[in-house]
Amino acid sequence: MAKFYCQCCGTDRSSVSSLTSSSCSKNPNGKYHSLYEGSEKSKYTCKYCGTDRSSISSLTSSSCSKNPNGKYHVPAM
């Protein structure tokens, strides 16, 4: 089954609507999860600093010193 991930925290849901209707504690721009529109990868890289992790949730749970909009790493598409 397809999984849709939040780019801010790595939460996954089976549909976009269920993802974007639940609230996100890490989205700096709004209160709901924000869809990660890139493809599923074995490694996710932060678009601001290049740090990589094996999952979106582990990437977004560590803080980024180069993100101008928020405090956590943000996966590149």
Per CB under 5 A, does 16 bind Zn ion?
no
Per DSSP (E only), the strands in the chain are 4-5, 12-13, 44-45, 52-53
Distance CA 8, CA 23 (A): 11
Per CB under 5 A, does 9 bind Zn ion?
yes
Per CB under 5 A, does 48 bind Zn ion?
yes
Quick one: 2 or 68, whose CB is closer to Zn ion? 68
Based on C-alpha coordinates, what's the Rg of the chain? 12
The residues that touch Zn ion, with contacts defined as CB under 5 A, are 6, 8-9, 11, 24, 33, 46, 48-49, 51, 64, 73
